[in-house]
Amino acid sequence: MIEYYATCPKGLEQLLIQEIKAIGAEFKRETVGGVWFDADLKTAYKVCLWSRIANKVLQPVGNGKIKADDDIYTLARDVAWEQYLSPTGTIWVDFQGTNELIRNSQYGALKVKDGIVDRFRNLFSERPSVEKNNPDLQIIARLNKGVLTLYMDMCGESLHKRGYRQKQGAAPLKENLAAALLYRANWPELAQQGAALLDPMCGSGTILIEGAMMAANMAPGISRAGFAFERWLNYDKSAWLDLREEALAAIDLEKIPEIRGYDINKHVLESAEHNIHKAGLGDKVRVITKPVSAFKKPTHTHIDHGLILTNPPYGERLGEIAELGGLYRELGTAMRADFKGWQAGVFTGNLEAAKNMGLKAHKKYKLNNGSLATELLLFDIKEEFFVNTIRDPHLARRRQLSEGATMVLNRLNKNKKQLSKWIKNYDIECYRLYDADIPEYSAAIDVYGDYYHIQEYQAPKSVDEKKAQTRFEEIVSAVECDFQTDEAKISLKQRRRNKGTQQYQKLTDQKSQHPLILVQEGAATFEVNLWDYLDTGLFLDHRPVRREIYNIAEDKKFLNLFCYTGTASVQAALGGARETVSVDLSNTYINWAKRNFQLNKLVSNKHRFEQADCFEWLKNCREGFDLILLDPPSFSNSKKTESILDIQRDHVGLIKRCMDLLTKDGILIFSNNLRSFKLNQEELAHYKVTDFKEESIDPDFKRNSKIHHCWLIEH
């Protein structure tokens, strides 16, 4: 078995994992924009042939720490390239990444190239030549955190280039992204049921062609001109030809149901027809010139169910943002009038325009179309999901707001504008929008995807209770107005200063009628409960700490004390930690942590959960750890343990015990939320203590810099 790395567009990792498992490879771990897997050579060929999601399949051949630029040369020279390439072959090196030593990627590529050609010259007195276009062997060199990894590219051109799309419109959808939309819209299962596939704005036909190939069980790579591995010396031609023959035999064009596309642009439909015929689907996929306003169910044959999937313009493509509302309104009107009972998916980068469809999406997926942030909205076209009135983006309701609510609304808009670039650049889904910015309106407002969490801070006794209630209602009105959302997606809580573990106790003993929701943070998916507890299961202010853990956890053994719902442990595991241990006294939160691991496909005996008093567990622990997170509550007097935690009093003992367990080059991250906390520098003077507070606070909490403390502690 050999370890391989398959790359894909960000956000499609889970789909790629499903594909790799279905193909027969062994999934190892996930990273942002890629998946590691084990396979024999034939199975790796099969991934290249059958993956509809991957961009590249790379074979790692060497890695090492780079402490001097000559380390790059040595690493490249020591790889047995002669197993894959003849001395008279051609190579190209793509170097990615820089650091203090290597500030120019071209220089890094040159050092790799020198190491390779010198090895051949020493062995054979001949050397490969450099060829950028279609080399026999393309080497990908990635420098990250001081470690350089060398890969061989098995594919050549990106796998999304199937070979059929030779003509395209102005804003083409990449083939693997189109395949992802079809997967998310459940097209493979619908196709087996005989459902139709329609695209009312089909452009050059990519969604239609990918849908037909899926239905016919046509391997996406079957029509490519070739793969890079076919020129390697270890190429197993017999195995590859067997795979191709099996793939050709598996194609069944008769399984393709009704697939039709429409577009108002005759010229772009000419490109679609060319691409359809190039894919060998000319008799199965039809395209017709028709505006969205005339979009109706085909009448030439009986079709009782199907999928409408389309990628309308979002203003970037046509430059007609003002007219988009009408286009989406026409699409929604057509779907509601003629397609009841059908499924629909709309892939858009203009959510404001999409509101004009008059349909409520039951599921949303955040994706990227190139550099554009986009979402796939999925609909059940049923009357219960029809929105009868299409609201103006500026909301007529705004005129009815009180002066106080209007003031809060203006502040929300100001904060959103200030945070918008950061949210977009870092793909932030959960963040704090407002934190008592206006003292009289004392509450925190957090955004969790499509849901809103409003926590009122208890008003001083000097404030009239009725006035406090009125102000809270004005806050809620401002949120409803600003986000155009219904009450079911707003969680309201009064936040009080609590003792002990009260903040972790349930607010009600009755079974919650509200859904648990799933949110994204980087590569991780977390379960969040906005209603049943004062806290939600995800401490938003500790997002940078979790990000730092993800960045430094590779190959480390990680300990998470007072782990709560295990979100930091998940980030460590996704960051490549070889082991994680999560400790918490609460069985509720240990089980929650286990569910978070399951959501991220991280179930393994390498990830342990300990329901225990952290004090007692630390006393008895005899393990060593490379990375420890110590984030205790400020005070705790749980009935489950005789010990009472006072973080100001007890922090030195806790830190010293953690340092006993920390390896020589390890890092302890110590954090707490006690505003009056003072670190005992004198007692900890024999350790290297670095204040990490500024780095541990993201832009959404900069208004409240006292939200927490954080230090990095090393031997």
- The span from the first CA to the last CA of the chain, in angstroms, equals 39
Three-state DSSP at 175 gives: helix
Number of Cβ within a 10 Å radius of residue 619: 9
User: 455 near 495, Cβ under 8 Å?
Assistant: yes
- The per-residue pLDDT for range 250-268, each reduced to its tens digit, is 999 999 999 999 998 888 9
Residue 607's DSSP bridge partners are 580
Q: Give the phi and the psi of residue 323 in degrees, each rounded to 5.
A: -90, -5
| Class of 517-714 in CATH | alpha beta
Sign of CA dihedral 459, 461, 465, 470: negative
Rounded distance between C-alpha atoms, residue 356 and residue 332, angstroms: 7
Rounded distance between C-alpha atoms, residue 309 and residue 326, angstroms: 19
Residue 84, pLDDT above cutoff 70 = yes
Average pLDDT value for the chain: 89
Shortest CA distance to 184 belongs to which of 373, 23, 334, 11? 11
* pLDDT for position 561: 97
Percent of the chain surpassing pLDDT 90: 71
In one letter, which amino acid is 530? L
* pLDDT for position 323: 59
Residue 635, pLDDT above cutoff 90 = no
Mean pLDDT of 62-69: 91
Distance of CA 452 to the CA centre of its chain: 21
Range of lowest pLDDT (252-256, 325-329, 480-484): 480-484
How sure is the predictor about 202, in pLDDT bands with cuts at 50, 70 and 90?
very high
- The per-residue pLDDT for range 96-145, each reduced to its tens digit, is 988 877 878 888 999 999 999 999 999 999 999 999 988 999 999 999 88
How sure is the predictor about 325, in pLDDT bands with cuts at 50, 70 and 90?
confident
Q: Give the phi and the psi of residue 558 in degrees, each rounded to 5.
A: -115, 135
* pLDDT for position 391: 43
CATH superfamily, domain 175-217+252-385, is Vaccinia Virus protein VP39 (3.40.50.150)
Q: Could you tell me whether strands 579-584 and 607-611 are parallel, antiparallel, or unpaired per DSSP bridges?
A: parallel
* pLDDT for position 390: 40
Return the C-alpha torsion angle 639, 642, 647, 653, nearest 10.
-150
| Class of 2-153 in CATH | alpha beta
- The per-residue pLDDT for range 498-542, each reduced to its tens digit, is 444 444 344 444 444 567 889 999 889 999 999 888 889 999 999
The full set of domain ranges for the chain reads 2-153, 175-217+252-385, 396-497, 517-714
Most confident residue range from 242-246, 335-339, 672-676: 242-246
Mean pLDDT of 609-624: 94
In one letter, which amino acid is 490? I
Separation in Å, CA 505 to CA 272, 285, 443, 502, 583? 59, 58, 21, 5, 18
206-215 and 175-184 helices, crossing angle to 10°: 60
Residue 396, pLDDT above cutoff 80 = no
* pLDDT for position 394: 42
User: 555 near 572, Cβ under 8 Å?
Assistant: no
* pLDDT for position 511: 42
Rounded distance between C-alpha atoms, residue 317 and residue 296, angstroms: 25
Shortest CA distance to 429 belongs to which of 494, 348, 517, 356? 517
In one letter, which amino acid is 577? A
Percent of the chain surpassing pLDDT 70: 92
Number of Cβ within a 10 Å radius of residue 428: 19
* pLDDT for position 459: 73
Domains 175-217+252-385 and 517-714 fall in the same CATH topology: yes
User: 111 near 149, Cβ under 8 Å?
Assistant: no
User: 22 near 53, Cβ under 8 Å?
Assistant: no
Residue 576, pLDDT above cutoff 80 = yes
Write the burial class of residue 331 (CB in 10 Å: 0-12 exposed, 13-18 middle, 19+ buried).
buried
What fold, for 396-497? Transcription Regulator spoIIAA (3.30.750)
Separation in Å, CA 58 to CA 92, 154, 228, 242, 414? 14, 6, 11, 22, 45
Beta strands in 211-340 (DSSP E): 259-263, 285-289, 306-310
Residue 601, pLDDT above cutoff 70 = yes
Separation in Å, CA 384 to CA 335, 360, 362, 517? 14, 9, 11, 21
